[in-house]
Amino acid sequence: MKKNDKAKGKRDMPEFSFKEFTPEEDKIYEEAVNKFREAITAGQTLRQAYGSYSIADKELMALIQADFLKIMIAERHFAQRQSLEEVAKALDVPLDLIKKTHARMLQEVGVTASKQFGKEFGEIPSKTSD
């Protein structure tokens, strides 16, 4: 990788910041995820599940809902081997939303793993000249 390419690669790497929850937010998060899960298990759509638990803080609500969709994708697609199409149909959401969320999940995992590797082992110098 050339120097310019290396610098560009760092700029292109998405930045993710993960919210640190207060004890009260953590309690709300757990309750909401449990209610959403119960609703999905009862055969409700994702939208209906989201309506099953009200959260006053709209920013926190959006974060929990986004996380819950990631949980559903992780459980159904990765653990149960359902296709993304099957996940979208089961949750009654657009396939495009599932695909975009899936891609973001993979980016988050990659960035997190890269940061963790850097913390543990430092950066590996590139010895190639391409």
Residues 6+ apart with CB under 8 A from 33: 64, 67, 68, 71
Q: pLDDT-based confidence at 84, cuts 50/70/90?
A: very high
Q: pLDDT-based confidence at 13, cuts 50/70/90?
A: low
Asked whether residue 111 carries a pLDDT value surpassing 70, the answer given is yes
Asked whether residue 17 carries a pLDDT value surpassing 80, the answer given is no
- Tens digit of pLDDT for each residue in 18-63? 778 999 999 999 999 999 999 999 999 999 999 999 999 999 999 9
The total of other beta-carbon atoms located within 10 Å of residue 13's CB is 13
What was the pLDDT predicted at 44?
97
Give the global pTM: 0.76
Mean pLDDT, range 84-93, rounded to an integer: 98
State CA 120 to chain mean position distance: 24
- Answer whether 53's CB lies under 8 Å from 31's CB: yes
Q: pLDDT-based confidence at 1, cuts 50/70/90?
A: very low
